[in-house]
């Protein structure tokens, strides 16, 4: 008997850049994502079946004529969810000269499952700015029916796209990977002339490189231009009206579309709202930093009260984190020739605060760093900046800067930065610790010049649902309240931890589906709680009580961590052996307990990863994924290395979703 599995990745989107003020609002799946990205700090991409791997999807040209029609074809690439289709759409680079140069936008869709019921398409965006909509949809596709239900997936195509300047849509690469390695984690509190010079030169070097690469076209990578691209996509998909789901910065993008095209909106769900336009510059910066400060305080409370928190040594976890900041500033760690300093620590912490599912990962990485091992922190920071094991970055960090500037979303210069810094540091002492007066100069002037942002205002009648989380670190609740007022939308409150709540609360996802499918809004005062902890199936104890070399690990929200549907139970173990030996031990233990092996395969995570299924006489099924220590060089799963002791592998065990 073979078993079909369903495990997908959330998008991870960019959030707050270490050592800066407010640069972004984000996986991944998620993300989402992901989560992202919005994720975005999100899930891990694992395979979808225990059957032997099939051949890679066939290549297709799947090009789109400039006339604005879409020629959907089979997607080309690795690790793609079955059933996805891809196309490109040519759009004007500059909408002021619509017959001039063009950009080819990369699109992906999961077609409606029942063509006879098809209503239209739902366009999605995971945030950023700079998050990949293709990655988001690929991570979402295999569990779309679990999240949204068949009423939506039977009747609507789900469509993702890389916005202009992102990855496959003319992705912005002003500087190379080596430059990013040298500059992303610069010491924000320089102690030497060399460190001071490097920090001072960083923005100038990047701006000059972008000017050389893109020149006067930099202003064409704006949110407004992307919203106009969305209208071209809507038309090319054959829809008279746009249905849209956006997370984080994707909510502002959706709001800009609604502002520009109020009569072309069918329905919108805007999850984890980001609405900085019109904010006082000090309030704009303070809003996000206070959000992360609050999320960190909640993490500290969890760690102090939880014996399973690896960073809990009986002292206050926040004070211990402060000490590690000082230690890494004075004496950075070396990981394979790369430096782990306090900038890496801050980035890793921010990445982990996007979802409660990654709190345990952060705790383990911090505990390792105290003993001189910085690989866990570096893996989390690299996940945030989307750097793979080969040292290659996605475009998110560069696209984020350019899109932010081209959209007029950069923090504006203020008259008295000293007073502003004092005010913000009082409200967010840890995450504002490295703020300087330079953070309150308009660094976009030299890149794009002064740009007037689009202020949100919706004059249409179509339903728009704005979702805000009371404990959202990246886009705090104040912005959701503000956006709901600007768009005359209904506000839904998520009373839980994390950023982007679609997969964290069935109450939220049910409300989103009603808007997108039935055009029905919830009550204006509706509050959704997070999903309750998932209990194991009643038959779970029928499995072997122990397996040689495996040690149980307690992880809260573990299913969310690896992108499983919200109602799927999962438990974790550390293993002292490689994947092959661990699977052999599992097979021996399960067969001794009366279970049969239901399938086995190597995983595309490296040479040291496997997956197996087991079934008992009652038909109960369990799936076991083994990620050996050698596979943690794969960037997709590298952050999970922080869950286990150095040199150990990780075992995940869960019933097949659905």
Query: Which residues are tagged catalytic?
Result: 248, 472, 499
For residue 314 the two structure tokens come to: 């009986």
Give the pair of three-digit tokens for residue 520.
């029905």
Which of helix, strand or coil describes residue 471?
strand
Distance separating alpha carbons of residues 84 and 113, to the nearest angstrom: 11
Task: Report the distance separating Cα 583 and Cα 558, nearest Å.
Answer: 21
Q: Quick check: 19 and 186 in contact, CB under 8 A?
A: yes
Q: Where are the beta strands (DSSP E) in 70-148?
A: 73-74, 85-92, 102-110, 120-125
Q: What residues contact 29, with CB distance under 8 A and at least 6 apart? A: 8, 9, 10, 11, 12, 35, 36, 37, 39, 40, 42, 43, 126, 136, 139, 140, 503, 563
For 430, phi then psi, to 5°, come to -80, -50
Q: Residue 88 in 3-state DSSP?
A: strand
Check: CB of residue 162 under 8 Å from CB of residue 133.
yes
Q: Retrieve residue 206's tokens.
A: 């990047």
Specify whether the CB–CB gap between 347 and 354 falls below 8 A.
Answer: no
> With the C-alpha atoms ordered 547, 550, 555, 560, is the resulting torsion angle positive or negative?
negative
**What is the DSSP-derived secondary structure letter of residue 535?**
P
- Tokens 């540091």 belong to 425
SS (H, E, C) 492-529: EEEEEECCCCCCCCHHHHHHHHHHHHHCCCCCCCCEEC
Where are the strands (E) in 398-489, listed by range?
464-471
Q: Are strands 464-471 and 490-497 parallel, antiparallel or unpaired?
A: parallel
d(CA 119, CA 295): 40
Tokens 């050389």, located at residue: 212
Q: At what angle do helices 281-304 and 342-353 cross, to 10 degrees?
A: 80
First to last CA, the chain: 17
**Do 70 and 587 contact (CB within 8 A), yes or no?**
no
Residue with tokens 């199936």: 537
Other CB atoms within 10 A of residue 54 CB: 8
Residues forming beta bridges with residue 339, ordered by sequence position = 334
Structural contact between residues 282 and 420, judged by C-beta atoms closer than 8 angstroms: yes
Length of the chain, please? 658
CA–CA distance, 157 with 110 (Å, rounded to integer): 6
Q: Are 638 and 383 in contact (CB under 8 A)?
A: yes
Specify whether the CB–CB gap between 451 and 222 falls below 8 A. Answer: yes
The count of other CB atoms within 10 Å of the CB of residue 443 is: 21
Range list of β-strands (E), 260-309 = 265-271
Find where tokens 């909509």 sit: 133
């Amino acid at each position: 008997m073979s078993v079909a599995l369903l495990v997908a990745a959330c998008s991870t989107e960019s959030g707050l850049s270490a050592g800066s003020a407010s640069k972004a609002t984000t996986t991944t799946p998620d993300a989402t994502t992901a989560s992202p990205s919005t994720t975005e700090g999100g899930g891990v991409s694992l395979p979808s079946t225990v059957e032997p791997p099939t051949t890679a999807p066939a290549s297709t040209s799947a090009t789109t004529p400039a006339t604005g029609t879409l020629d959907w074809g089979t997607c080309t690439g690795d690790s793609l969810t079955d059933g996805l289709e891809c196309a490109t759409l040519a759009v004007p680079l500059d909408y002021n000269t619509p017959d001039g140069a063009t950009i080819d936008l990369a699109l992906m869709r999961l077609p409606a499952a029942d063509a006879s019921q098809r209503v239209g398409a739902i366009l999605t965006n995971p945030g950023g700015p700079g998050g990949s909509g293709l990655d988001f949809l690929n991570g979402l596709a295999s569990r779309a029916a679990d999240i949204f239900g068949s009423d939506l997936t039977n009747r609507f195509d789900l469509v993702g796209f890389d916005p202009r300047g992102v990855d496959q849509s003319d992705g912005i690469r002003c500087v190379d990977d080596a430059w990013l390695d040298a500059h992303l984690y610069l010491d924000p509190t320089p102690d030497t002339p060399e460190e001071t010079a490097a920090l001072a030169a960083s923005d100038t070097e990047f701006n000059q490189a972008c000017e050389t690469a893109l020149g006067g076209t930099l202003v064409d990578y704006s949110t407004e231009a992307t919203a106009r691209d969305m209208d071209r996509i809507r038309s090319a998909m054959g829809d008279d009206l746009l249905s849209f789901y956006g997370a984080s910065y994707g909510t502002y993008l959706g709001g800009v579309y609604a502002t520009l095209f109020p009569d072309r909106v069918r329905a919108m769900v805007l999850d984890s709202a980001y609405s900085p336009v019109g904010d006082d510059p000090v309030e704009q910066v303070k809003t996000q930093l206070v959000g992360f400060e609050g999320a960190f305080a909640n993490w500290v409370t969890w760690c102090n009260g939880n014996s399973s928190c690896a960073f809990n040594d009986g002292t206050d976890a926040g004070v211990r984190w402060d000490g590690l900041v000082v230690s890494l500033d004075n004496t950075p760690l070396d990981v394979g020739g790369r430096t782990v300093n306090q900038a890496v620590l801050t980035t890793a912490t921010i990445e982990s605060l996007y979802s409660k599912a990654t709190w345990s990962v952060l705790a383990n990485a911090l505990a390792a760093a105290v003993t001189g091992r910085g690989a866990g922190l570096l893996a989390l920071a690299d996940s945030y900046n989307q750097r793979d094991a080969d040292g290659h970055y996605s475009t998110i960090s560069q696209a984020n800067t350019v899109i932010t500037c081209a959209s007029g979303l950069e923090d504006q210069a203020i008259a008295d930065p000293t007073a502003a810094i004092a005010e913000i540091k009082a409200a967010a002492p840890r995450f504002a610790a490295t703020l300087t007066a330079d953070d309150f100069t308009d660094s976009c002037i030299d890149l794009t010049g002064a740009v007037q942002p689009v202020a949100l205002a919706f004059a249409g009648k179509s339903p728009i649902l704005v979702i805000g989380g009371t404990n959202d670190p990246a886009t705090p609740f104040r912005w959701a309240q503000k956006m709901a007022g600007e768009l005359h939308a209904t506000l839904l409150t998520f009373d839980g931890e994390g950023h982007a709540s679609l997969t964290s609360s069935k109450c939220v996802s049910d409300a989103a589906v009603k808007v997108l499918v039935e055009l029905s809004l919830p009550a204006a005062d509706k509050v959704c709680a997070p999903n309750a902890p998932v209990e194991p199936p009643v038959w779970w104890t029928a499995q072997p009580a122990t397996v040689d070399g495996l040690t149980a690990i307690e992880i809260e929200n573990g299913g969310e961590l690896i992108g499983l549907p919200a109602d799927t139970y999962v438990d974790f173990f550390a293993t002292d052996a490689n994947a092959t030996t661990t699977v052999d031990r599992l097979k021996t233990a399960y067969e001794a307990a009366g279970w049969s092996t239901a399938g086995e395969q190597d995983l595309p995570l490296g040479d040291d990863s496997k997956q197996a299924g087991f079934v008992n006489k009652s038909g109960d099924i369990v799936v076991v994924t083994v990620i050996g220590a050698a596979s943690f060089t794969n960037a997709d799963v590298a952050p999970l290395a922080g869950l286990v002791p150095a040199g150990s592998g990780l075992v995940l065990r869960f019933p097949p979703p659905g």
